Amino acid sequence: MDTLTALVISAIDPLNGAGFTLDLEVLEILGIKAMGIPTAVIPQIPEGAISIKKFGRGILLETLESILSFEKPSGLKVSIMGRFISEVPKIAKDIKGPKVLDPIIEPGKMRVISKKEIKKLRKMIPFFDYITPNLPEAEEILEEKIKDPGRTCEKMSLVFGVKVYLKGGHTQSKIDYFCTGRETVEMKPSRIFPYEVHGTGCFFSSALLGFLMKGNTSIDAVSRAKELLEVAYSTVLRTGRGKRMLQLQSLIKRNSDRD
């Protein structure tokens, strides 16, 4: 069987609790060879981002060229794009496998994409197969307040022509919604954890890509990604500051046993 290779475009979290390194780790756990383009460094604390240092477009293009000279990716995960935002649509167009966009706009109350760049973000969404916004991100993309998350999920799918996984972590119920364009599925959590965890959005979108690349159907991929995230939630690492971060060692044996 040929090796499945994913391309990741996202920013580095030096805590390794989210972003580029977490994306690579999740995909590797699922048996996907992950290569990537780190677009920025975002110093963080578990409560959120402190600042962002974007890498230059030149080094990003060199990195892309070196990857493509080595391997043609068969899947794509994109989140924080930095100065690479104008290149992403072409990259997505050239990749034939599943493509997942996690449209991170404001991690920890610090914007990583400008109001002007939001227009570029909207235009690139149709180049992807899946988008995984949380509620505030969906509001900004659609430029409207959300009253009914299920209907919002359906509207995003209709407007952009993609499958939408709308994350409900900002609500009391924690219910997510998945819209394929033909049906909308309410994704209730198996349990609600009494604490917040850093990096869950990155984890989910990378796991979703991994399961899709392994041949799972859309609904099976989102279900398995959500299930794996809930397992990760239950085995988090508690930091010295009393905050919780994902740690993936316990997932490696579980996934290898299951597959």
CA angle 169, 113, 51 (to 5 degrees): 85
Q: Which token pair is 255?
A: 């996934």
What 8-state DSSP symbol labels residue 134?
B
CA distance 259 to 257: 6
CATH number at residue 125: 3.40.1190.20
Question: Which domain covers residue 114, as residue numbers?
Answer: 5-258
Q: What is the pLDDT of residue 255?
A: 58
- Could you list the beta-strand ranges (E) of the chain: 5-12, 33-41, 44-45, 48-49, 53-54, 75-78, 99-101, 130-131, 163-166, 176-179, 184-187, 197-198, 237-238, 244-245
Number of domains present in the structure of the chain: 1
User: How much is the pLDDT for 16?
Assistant: 78
- What are 46's two structure tokens? 């578990």
Task: Please state the rounded mean pLDDT for residues 118-135.
Answer: 97
Q: Which residues contact 233 (CB under 8 A, 6 or more apart)?
A: 193, 197, 200, 246
Which residues face 130 on adjacent strands? 100, 163
Q: Average pLDDT of 143-149?
A: 93
- pLDDT reading at 209 higher than 70: yes
Task: Check residue 195 and give its pLDDT.
Answer: 62
pLDDT value at position 33?
Answer: 95
Do 182 and 195 form a contact (C-beta atoms < 8 A)? no
- The residue count for the chain: 259
Do 13 and 50 meet the contact criterion of CB atoms below 8 Å apart? no
Average pLDDT over residues 236-242: 67
The tens digit of pLDDT for each residue in 158-185 reads 999 999 999 987 777 789 999 999 999 9
Strand 75-78 to strand 244-245: parallel, antiparallel, or no bridges (unpaired)? unpaired
Half-sphere exposure at residue 133, Cβ-oriented, CA atoms within 13 angstroms: 26
71 is written with which tokens? 């391997």
Query: In whole angstroms, what is the distance from residue 130 CA to residue 214 CA?
Result: 16
Closest CA to 149 of 124, 169, 129: 169
How far is residue 68's CA from residue 24's CA, in Å, rounded to a whole number? Answer: 17
pLDDT at 38 over 80: yes
Q: For all residues of the chain together, what is the average pLDDT?
A: 89
**pLDDT at position 252, please?**
57
pLDDT band at 43 (very low <50, low <70, confident <90, very high): confident
pLDDT at 240 exceeding the cut of 80: no
Structure tokens at 109: 């109350």
> Average pLDDT in the 101-114 region?
90
Q: pTM of the predicted model, to two decimals?
A: 0.92
Position 220 pLDDT exceeds 80: yes
Average pLDDT over residues 3-29: 92
φ/ψ (deg, to 5) at 219: -70, -35
pLDDT score recorded for residue 192: 66
CA 25 to chain centre: 13
Q: Which of 23-27, 110-114, 122-126 shows the lowest mean pLDDT across its residues?
A: 110-114
